[in-house]
Structure 1
């Protein structure tokens, strides 16, 4: 009975929220999204997806460049210019991980605020401050040493705490279910592109006469340009877009079976007791621990064990990311095609993608752990193959929460990312504890094998506990409400006639 009462209350809220809708808006055909006109070939949903992709390019660029820059910041021979400042720091892992100290704490709040008030201006303001903090790193390093850099990274983490949850709120209102994997991979291609351009730019600038300081200035400038684009062309939802066609708007809203201006109370209890969400969480933790090791610590491994210089190291780190980007352009549309043609169910598509991505990365890490110092380029090949497999994870656990609850995707992802990103904090500290001699192959082998265990555990749990069914607590769709209102209207007419 309590569950039924709760459901009735939620339906009541939905009914009040839809009183303003016209008859045409209100009665939504269940299959209309599959047959309706989708609007222009390159519609507003693609423009928003491209803007979100660029948000990740600029945001990830200013987040990950520190992994390469810190090598040049502590190497007096990195640049031919003797005036480029260098430092004798032994806390580089702390510098890298400090970003996540504040990044984690704001995830849930960011998702909630974005859903309630709209993500556009939260994303704009926090991104702008993030780019200012990035540009301030050279000055802070010169005046305050490593503690100044850590302070800037903490500010960046606080600002980027809004990045992913805001993007997820946008995805929950803009991406039709028929294009979920395709547009998800388009948006999150920004992670790979940001990593590539940031790594290459930082490596080349650091090895040039300009030195590492200019890499922070250039990355920040790119970010400021994105802010201008977002301010003029970004929109919270189809309902708030001034130029979207009626056909595209109807297609998106029919596919999601919801009006995006309806506000429901967040079902916190149901979210925290949803077993499939815990499956996503465990897989997400395993992935993030593995990726943190591979993105922030592999540059040190390649530099110290495989003896690559700064420029060569930047190229070697960019190659796997480029391969991952190309692979994601194939896996996203392919998974949508498999689901639409009913060759695989949505659930099995998510399961198999996660197994391929995570188990594949685990095998690659174990393989790489047994390479010798004269097999440096084999390490790059293995990393490239691992990055190819990483694209499968994007259509596995990384998109699964949208299957469960598109309406509360920002809040849910905030919870997942807040807990999951603890792994990104722990991973560099774990490496610093496990690797006391950065030139020791044996110590790196221990790190790689333990990291492989995280990948395998996460994927295994996800396979057995995951679901792809939209949860009842996500709220009834408009068709359910229309039927409910029909019954109420009929009952009212009978009462008046009697």
Structure 2
């Protein structure tokens, strides 16, 4: 390759600001940080507009298009790596922009598919990528993806061709293509449009979801939404989860390396083991939340708050305990971190299911706003962690864990005060037909009343013979 010079250490130094040796590219720490941030630079600004349009367009087509862009961009990344780090930065931003539309799209799909008695488990199983239903083949799968990423990346890098690392992009890209094919074949925007859904299944879904006069949203009540306490309770629940995830998940390999002193070759395996707790917790608490709702008289409002607080405050003693451990307690630390993720995952049955509770028509929009705000803080969190842990000592990481405790407590208080479980007035379809109970003689009769047009045309006469309408 032209334009390279060899330095004293034997590396080939490229004039574009990176070094090359044995098919590996090395950037300075500033460029590495910028490349990591590139994903969030794209993710944050893109989430809001994608959230806005997710209720107005064909969500399935949007998600397919964004996934194709991600796969193609990722496939080109290994080649572009040898061109310029700034070109790679552009690819990272593009991937972030594409990812910014996937979760709002998935949330909007769920608001149309998930019946209330199964909403929590569907939401969290989509988040972990475990749901067996056809609609959920492609959506986020964050935890499962993280586990396989940690486990397989090191193994893939051992492939004795081009240093192995380019195959990470090609193998995971191939898996995404397979998921995309399944998604295209089996996923439909609405239950009513699925050709293989049974009448019983369709009836169950329709009975336990919001009713709409049209499938798409034409008007967004921005002022009422942004001044709603229920909206901010939901959004701040997302932000709390995002901060904790960034500190405890993204920065996890640093803690394992610096404090627990695990060999780098097993760091990925240890990180994957910890994420198993997150997957298991999401599944268990998702089913538990729906069972509690079905078997008790607990309202949706109190159900969401219960699981949000249980996850955040229930995990506090464990994270404090972890802060007092060092490399002599490495096995105990791994066990406790796994248990921590298991317990904290209970909050997925709180904030994550909440957009479909309070505003089913705008669930994708709320998700997009939440991701946009969370992405900003997610880009800042690693900088704060590295500033607090310049030497990587156990004492320094103890301060990080105390910060997580503070976020957990504050997030619990805010969610309890602001969150709701009922569909908000500003979120309701103004043209929808709703039920109104009136009293005729000594009997209660339910009639249909339109918010906009008065009595439904199919309503039966209220008075017959000598019956009188009592005030």
Cα 1:433–1:133 shift into 2, 3 Å: farther
- In the alignment, is the contact (CA less than 8 A) between 2:47 and 2:97 conserved in 1? no
Q: How does 1:61-100 map to 2 (within 5 A)?
A: 83-91=22-30, 92-100=32-40
Structure 2 residue aligned with 1:113, among 53, 71, 96? 53
- Is 1:459 the equivalent of 2:427? no
Q: Which residue of 1 aligns with 2:6?
A: none
Q: Which residue of 2 aligns with 1:487?
A: 455
Q: Structure 1-normalised TM-score?
A: 0.77
Q: Which of the pair has the greater relative contact order for Cα pairs under 8 Å at 6+ separation?
A: 1
Q: Which residue of 1 aligns with 2:308?
A: 354
- Distance of 1:83 and 1:424 partners within structure 2: 33
- Distance of 1:135 and 1:366 partners within structure 2: 42
- Distance of 2:238 and 2:408 partners within structure 1: 9
- Distance of 1:214 and 1:134 partners within structure 2: 11
Q: Which residue of 2 aligns with 1:364?
A: 318
Structure 2 residue aligned with 1:162, among 85, 93, 101? 101
Structure 2 residue aligned with 1:339, among 284, 293, 297? 293
- Distance of 1:93 and 1:354 partners within structure 2: 32
Q: Structure 2-normalised TM-score?
A: 0.81
The alpha-carbon deviation at position 381 of structure 1 amounts to: 1.3
- Distance of 2:67 and 2:428 partners within structure 1: 32
The alpha-carbon deviation at position 159 of structure 1 amounts to: 0.5
RMSD: 2.5
SS of the equivalent of 1:258 reads coil
- In the alignment, is the contact (CA less than 8 A) between 1:207 and 1:311 conserved in 2? no
- Distance of 2:329 and 2:88 partners within structure 1: 35
My pick for the range that moved more, 415-424 or 258-267, is: 258-267
- Distance of 1:407 and 1:271 partners within structure 2: 12
Structure 2: tracts of 5 or more residues without a match: 1-20, 130-141, 436-446, 463-471
- Distance of 2:331 and 2:257 partners within structure 1: 12
CA offsets, 1:236-294, max 9 Å, x none?
11233233333322322221141474434222122111102212222322221111111
- Distance of 2:379 and 2:334 partners within structure 1: 25
The alpha-carbon deviation at position 460 of structure 1 amounts to: 1.6
- Distance of 2:404 and 2:385 partners within structure 1: 10
Cα 1:363–1:142 shift into 2, 3 Å: farther
Q: Which residue of 1 aligns with 2:387?
A: 433
The alpha-carbon deviation at position 408 of structure 1 amounts to: 1.3
- Distance of 2:320 and 2:122 partners within structure 1: 32
Structure 1: tracts of 5 or more residues without a match: 1-81
CA offsets, 1:461-489, max 9 Å, x none?
11222211111222255434943367264
The alpha-carbon deviation at position 208 of structure 1 amounts to: 5.2
Q: Comparing both structures, which one devotes a greater share of its residues to strand?
A: 2
Structure 2 residue aligned with 1:137, among 77, 101, 109? 77
Cα 1:100–1:88 shift into 2, 3 Å: closer
Q: Which residue of 2 aligns with 1:151?
A: 90
Q: Comparing both structures, which one devotes a greater share of its residues to helix?
A: 1
- In the alignment, is the contact (CA less than 8 A) between 1:95 and 1:153 conserved in 2? yes
- In the alignment, is the contact (CA less than 8 A) between 2:25 and 2:82 conserved in 1? no
Structure 1 residue aligned with 2:152, among 201, 219, 223? 201
My pick for the range that moved more, 101-110 or 91-100, is: 91-100
SS of the equivalent of 1:483 reads strand
- Is 1:180 the equivalent of 2:134? no
Q: How does 1:438-453 map to 2 (within 5 A)?
A: 439-453=392-406
- Is 1:274 the equivalent of 2:228? yes
CA offsets, 1:36-57, max 9 Å, x none?
xxxxxxxxxxxxxxxxxxxxxx
CA offsets, 1:136-192, max 9 Å, x none?
3322332214x3433221111010010110001101111111111121122112222
My pick for the range that moved more, 479-488 or 322-331, is: 479-488
Q: Which residue of 2 aligns with 1:124?
A: 64
